[in-house]
Amino acid sequence: MNQASIRTPLGIATILGDEKGIQEIKVDDSTKESSEIPEILQTAISQLQEYFLGKRQNFELKLNPKGTDFQKKVWEELRNIPYGTTVSYLELSRNFGDEKAIRAVASANGKNPLWIVVPCHRVIGSDGSLTGYAGGLHRKKWLLDLENPPIQQSLF
């Protein structure tokens, strides 16, 4: 398994992957940046950098996350949430096909191993509140603001 850590506006992102795909992307503040980037992770790192620069809305990466079949189905559903939009946990459960599975869907959402690429940050509470984000609510808010910048009003 190859690994690289890069600086992002939200902390150090660590990417793990091999020829089968990207297995994990996580962020924290304690990891050190990598001095060398394995070639197999170059595309993932480039796409993350483009996202943070506002130049990428969709990721085109081969993914290979570890999880149960149920979790993987939920993570695939998360990838259907368009850039700059949000859905509630209830809407996500309905889109998944079972409104009653809201707790299981929310749990799978919280175990998403592919930070940003599988956009679990786009899932909010039914009342519009920012709830539950493994990376911290400050990061969730930052990501949603990046994807939905305020519109500059004209002075004239």
| Tens digits of pLDDT across the chain (156 residues) | 999 999 999 999 999 999 999 999 999 888 899 999 999 999 999 999 999 999 999 999 999 999 999 999 999 999 999 999 999 999 999 988 888 999 999 999 999 999 999 999 999 988 888 887 878 899 999 999 999 876 666 666
pTM attached to this predicted model = 0.89
Question: Rounded distance, CA 100 to CA 106, Å?
Answer: 11
Contacts of 21 (CB under 8 A, 6+ apart): 61, 62, 63, 64
Residues designated catalytic:
120
CA angle 105, 138, 140 (to 5 degrees): 35
Q: What is the dihedral of CA 36, 138, 99, 73, to 10 degrees?
A: 0
Contacts of 139 (CB under 8 A, 6+ apart): 10, 11, 27, 121, 133
β-bridge mates for residue 87, sequence order: 123
Question: Rounded distance, CA 68 to CA 59, Å?
Answer: 22
